[in-house]
């Protein structure tokens, strides 16, 4: 212990300040911001025994406080934008090419906020425990060469569920401005459907880091892109908007795995959960045990669960369902006719339908933090 203290003291003499003091001043810098404009490139890499992939995206966070803000992630189908213009909050998602508007005075961020502001995280760096000053290093960031402190901060996230390892986060803090110009972390995950773990790394490097300077006004204006459609709201942090919420269950006739026809008319008067899925879809497979649990808990309360197989043969769906001993009803949408009627652009997709045939809620994509049982209870099922 004494040796560790001596080493830490020596590091402080070499670098001038201990890591906690640097992070405290960094947090105070972000807490004092009245306006800011940050843009960063985020490089994500995923490596497993069978696959290796790399993606890049651009993240923008800008504000003229208290009322104006822009949060944006640009990169492929996951691109999204949220603009606070002082009166309204506008959100746009590039995948489904949809946007929604809410009143800013009553706006509340979604429970699973996929467009969080990194500034909020940096404001709390002063509370970090166990931080270590590794070295000083000059990096290319924010338009030039910047001399930075390199500080490692232990992860605050507990290892649980699919996450089996989470590395400390390394921050590069600019010595002249106390702004974070780069950060890096590693995470290992393993789902029950995977034979081996996969390693994910994320590196964020800022190209623009402007603090307490004038921010271009156009960043806080929203103009719907050409061809975009407006929806009432986005009921899920993933995928498209709630284009079906409030609408009546469309007419359909599909067969179950036994060849028996199920019609929309036969469902009137019953609460229904529709789950669009396919055997090739990994998130769908991970969600299936939770759908089975809903069947166990809510079937006796009258809830009808229909798992709509998206475009596969009945033989493929039957083999998978029998292998996993699932007991909910499976419908085969071989030509994707019902998928199109529900405007499903990605799976899994879950719809909750009232006894009167009206769609009450829509959840696109899969997340371990989304508890469909609790959502059902909130909707009165």
Tens-digit pLDDT profile for residues 175-223: 999 999 999 999 888 776 667 788 999 999 999 999 999 999 999 999 9
Cβ 146 vs Cβ 173: under 8 Å: no
Domain limits for position 11 = 2-220
Query: Could you tell me if 113 and 191 lie in one domain?
Result: yes
Query: Could you tell me if 314 and 287 lie in one domain?
Result: yes
- Residue 57 falls inside a structural domain: yes
Q: Write down the pLDDT at residue 76.
A: 54
Q: Write down the pLDDT at residue 333.
A: 92
Boundary of a domain, candidates 197, 220, 243: 220
Query: Could you tell me if 178 and 327 lie in one domain?
Result: no
Q: Write down the pLDDT at residue 254.
A: 94
The CATH number of whichever domain residue 131 belongs to comes to 2.50.20.10
- Residue 145 falls inside a structural domain: yes
Query: Could you tell me if 129 and 24 lie in one domain?
Result: yes
Q: Write down the pLDDT at residue 343.
A: 77
Query: Could you tell me if 42 and 80 lie in one domain?
Result: yes
Query: Could you tell me if 327 and 179 lie in one domain?
Result: no
Residue keyed to tokens 């467009």: 115
Query: Could you tell me if 75 and 129 lie in one domain?
Result: yes
- Residue 92 falls inside a structural domain: yes
- Residue 225 falls inside a structural domain: no
What separation, in Å, do the N-terminal and C-terminal C-alpha atoms of the chain show? 57
3-class DSSP assignment, residue 181: strand
Query: Could you tell me if 364 and 216 lie in one domain?
Result: no
Eight-state DSSP code of residue 87:
S
Q: Which two tokens stand for residue 104?
A: 């800013």
Q: What is the pTM of this model?
A: 0.65
Query: Could you tell me if 63 and 142 lie in one domain?
Result: yes
Own/partner long-range contacts of 158-162 (Cβ < 8 Å, ≥24 apart): 161/368, 162/189, 162/190, 162/191, 162/368
Strands annotated E in 94-179 = 98-103, 132-141, 144-153, 163-166, 169-174
Q: Which of 71, 341, 79 is nearest to 225 (CA)?
A: 79
- Spans in the chain with pLDDT lower than 50: 1-14
Q: Write down the pLDDT at residue 66.
A: 95
Strands annotated E in the chain = 35-47, 52-64, 68-74, 80-85, 88-93, 98-103, 132-141, 144-153, 163-166, 169-174, 180-189, 198-211, 229-230, 253-256, 261-263, 272-277, 304-310, 329-333, 349-353, 359-364
Distance (Å) of CA 40 to CA 43, 71, 245: 10, 12, 35
Q: Write down the pLDDT at residue 111.
A: 67
């Amino acid at each position: 212990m004494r040796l560790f203290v001596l080493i830490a003291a020596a590091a402080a003499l070499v670098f001038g300040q201990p890591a906690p003091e640097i992070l405290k001043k960094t947090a105070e810098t972000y807490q004092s911001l009245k306006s800011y404009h940050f843009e960063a490139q985020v490089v994500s890499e995923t490596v497993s025994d069978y696959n290796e992939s790399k993606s890049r995206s651009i993240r923008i966070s800008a504000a003229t406080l208290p009322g104006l803000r822009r949060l944006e992630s640009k990169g492929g189908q996951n691109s999204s934008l949220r603009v606070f213009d002082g009166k309204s909050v506008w959100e746009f998602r590039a995948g489904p090419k949809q946007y929604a508007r809410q009143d800013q005075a009553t706006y509340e961020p979604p429970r699973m906020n996929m467009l969080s502001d990194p500034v909020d995280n940096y404001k709390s760096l002063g509370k970090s425990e166990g931080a270590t000053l590794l070295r000083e290093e000059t990096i290319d960031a924010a338009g030039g060469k910047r001399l930075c402190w390199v500080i490692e901060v232990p992860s605050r996230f507990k290892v649980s569920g699919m996450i089996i390892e989470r590395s400390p986060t390394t921050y590069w803090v600019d010595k002249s401005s106390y702004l974070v110009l780069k950060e890096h972390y590693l995470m290992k995950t393993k789902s029950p459907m995977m034979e081996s773990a996969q390693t994910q790394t994320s590196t964020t490097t800022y190209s623009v880091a402007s603090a307490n300077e004038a921010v271009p006004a156009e960043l806080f204006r929203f103009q719907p892109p050409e061809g975009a459609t407006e929806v009432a709201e986005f009921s899920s942090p993933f995928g498209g908007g709630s284009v079906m919420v409030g609408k009546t269950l469309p007419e359909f006739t599909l067969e179950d795995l036994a060849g028996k026809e199920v019609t929309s008319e036969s469902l009137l008067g019953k609460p229904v959960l529709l789950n669009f899925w396919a055997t090739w879809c990994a998130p769908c497979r991970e969600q299936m045990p939770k759908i089975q649990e809903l069947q166990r808990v809510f079937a006796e309360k009258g809830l009808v669960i229909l798992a709509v197989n998206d475009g596969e043969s009945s033989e493929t769906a039957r083999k998978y369902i029998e292998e996993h001993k699932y007991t909910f009803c499976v419908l085969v949408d071989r030509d994707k006719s019902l998928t199109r009627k529900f405007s499903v652009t990605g799976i899994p997709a879950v719809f909750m339908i009232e006894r009167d045939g009206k769609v009450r809620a829509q959840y696109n994509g899969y997340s371990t933090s989304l508890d469909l049982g609790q959502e059902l209870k909130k909707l009165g099922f």
